[in-house]
Amino acid sequence: MFVFRNNTVERFFPKDYTFSGYDDISYIPTDVDGYVWFYQLPVKYDQELLCAEIRGYAQKLSFVLSQVDAAKPFIVLTMDEGAYSAPFTSGAELIAAVAEYNTVLVQAASDCSQVKLLDIREFTRQYTASEVFDWKFWFISQMGMNPKLTKPFMQWWSRKLDEISLKRKKCLVLDLDNTLWGGVLGEDGIEGIQLGGDYPGKAFHYWQEALLALSKSGVILTVCSKNNEADVLEAWEKNPFMVLKKDNFATWRINWTDKATNIKALAEELNIGLDSFVFVDDNPTERELIRQMLPMVEVPEFPAQPYELPVFFKALVEKYFRVYAVTNEDKKKTEQYKANAQRAQAQRSFVDFDSFLESLNIQITLEAANEFNIPRIAQMTQKTNQFNLTTKRYTDADVRQFVEQGWKIWCISVSDKFGDNGITGCVMLNGDTIDTFLLSCRVLGKGIEVAFMKRILLELQQHGMAAVKASYIPTAKNAQVKAFYETCGFTCVSEESDGKKAYLLNLEDADLDIKAYYHIKLK
């Protein structure tokens, strides 16, 4: 990344970043992966000159954006008018100038998909002005931020990059008694649990409202509780203050089995890895059990008092679940996973698997990459681990650049009689080579991956391509696709000692027949 800056900021970024001169936009490199715009509050006592300089920064940003490659990410950081304390560096005029500058940044992020906006005040306002800015380091090396904040800033920056890359945990597992409500349901009854009304019930009510909002952003909510299931179902139905009800959870384990076993069962049912789970429980013994038995599951400390729940929720989101943008598929996650459970139940009623698949009325839509689906395609490359042949990670800017370079990129949407799974797979071809082929775990187990591959190969064949190359790059999580290309008729032409394999398929004599019960449409 190349950083445009007006102060010394080198120590706050990774070592492979490069930097402009102070307030210098005369050189704009092209051989970088992306850009950062980090202009801090200038140090001046003259209010008129100070505000004029800030407004000038906005004009310079507009010029730079017009010159850089529109396919490369451009991260802009806002300015904090409270960055340092000095006479006259306050008041309405300065606040207005900084607000005007930040508004330009907001508008740039709205107008240009490559621009990602980060609010520096989210970081700086954890500290006092004297902790953020130290005159000693300003005079010694023109540092607009105290170097003592290097480590926390780099941690914050790393989290922000993950958010932009749409990396986060998938599933939140929740206990019930003294976690989602106050008290013990089996002892206090439906009317006796603390939920709504005065404190502490009001705190649990707010907590449930926050969790409901989180689920609408694509986080899967599940329950793992030692309780009588019938009592919980009745409480979900009859307690008038209950915000989170039965339909808000993708699935649950409410029984007297140990919670490690139950969480493994939840992972199996949802078909997602245990490292995608966060477990929340008020009981320190249960938390320690999961840490010991399932170390890949994240287990945060639960607050000692209900009034701490809003702060706990904020920390939970910041550490595990926050992303820069939420896709339409994210918003439908709970319904999609509930539908998967219904499919599994329906499958058990069929003896013949083909008959089961035919009964589903599977609809597959193939669509070329465009501005509407590119964010989701990029998100899948970041998050999909199990059915991912190469596990290459790309941003939406990367995908746009590939499209401009002539890559063939398609995504698929899958639906059936139980519901719509949304965009759940993609293939990316650079010339005659498959760079990426992946499928969400939500649609695995129904042969859709083979139908998808064969339909793409048929499309390539019809457009005159004679052969297709591909590769499998092993990871700790994608062993299940080790022989996928063989299943699709590819020939393995080489295999390295680390398990990486190269493939070739002659399209002229390839078997591209697709089962009739896959109803495929190419848009």
> Which two three-digit tokens encode residue 13?
């970024």
Q: Residue 91: which pLDDT band, with cuts at 50, 70 and 90?
A: confident
Give Cα 177 distance to the centre of its chain.
30
Respond yes or no on whether the N-terminal peptide bond of residue 474 is cis (omega within 30° of 0).
no
3-state secondary structure of 162: helix
In 3D space, the residue among 312, 316, 230, 247 whose CA is nearest the CA of residue 277 turns out to be 316
pTM: 0.62
In 3D space, the residue among 172, 143, 101, 196 whose CA is nearest the CA of residue 7 turns out to be 143
Amino acid code (one letter) for 195: L
Q: Tell me the HSE value of 69 on the side-chain side, using a 13 A CA sphere.
A: 19
Q: What is the DSSP letter of 301?
A: P
143-180 burial, b at 16+ Cβ within 10 Å, e below that, comes to bbbbbebeeebeebbeebbebbbbebbbbbbbbbbbbb
Please give the Cα distance from 272 to 202 (Å, whole number).
Answer: 34
At residue 272, the pLDDT reads 87
In 3D space, the residue among 475, 392, 389 whose CA is nearest the CA of residue 438 turns out to be 389
Please give the Cα distance from 379 to 422 (Å, whole number).
Answer: 13
DSSP bridge pairs for 505? 468
Give the pLDDT confidence of 291-306 residue by residue, as tens digits. 999 999 999 999 999 9
**Which of 2-16, 21-35, 80-94, 215-229 is least confident?**
80-94
Question: Considering the chain, what is the average pLDDT of its residues?
Answer: 91
Phi, psi of 45 (to 5 degrees): -95, -25
Contacts from 128-135 at CB under 8 Å and sequence distance 24+?
129/82, 129/83, 129/84, 129/85, 130/85, 132/80, 132/83, 132/84, 133/83, 133/84, 133/85, 135/84
Place of tokens 């695995």: 444
Please give the Cα distance from 123 to 479 (Å, whole number).
Answer: 40
> Which two three-digit tokens encode residue 389?
């042949």
Residue 69 reports pLDDT greater than 80: yes
* ∠ CA 35-40-45, rounded to 5°: 155
Q: Residue 86: which pLDDT band, with cuts at 50, 70 and 90?
A: low
The radius of gyration of the chain's CA atoms, rounded to the nearest angstrom, is 27
DSSP bridge pairs for 19? 3
On whether the CB atoms of residues 275 and 296 are closer than 8 A, the answer is: yes
Residue 324 reports pLDDT greater than 90: no
At residue 320, the pLDDT reads 92
Please give the Cα distance from 523 to 515 (Å, whole number).
Answer: 20
Q: Which residues contact 55 (CB under 8 A, 6 or more apart)?
A: 97, 100, 101
- Mean pLDDT across 69-87: 83
Place of tokens 């399932």: 294
At residue 90, the pLDDT reads 58
Please give the Cα distance from 428 to 453 (Å, whole number).
Answer: 11
- Mean pLDDT across 71-91: 79
In 3D space, the residue among 467, 513, 473 whose CA is nearest the CA of residue 490 turns out to be 467
Please give the Cα distance from 380 to 365 (Å, whole number).
Answer: 17
At residue 117, the pLDDT reads 96
Q: Residue 419: which pLDDT band, with cuts at 50, 70 and 90?
A: confident
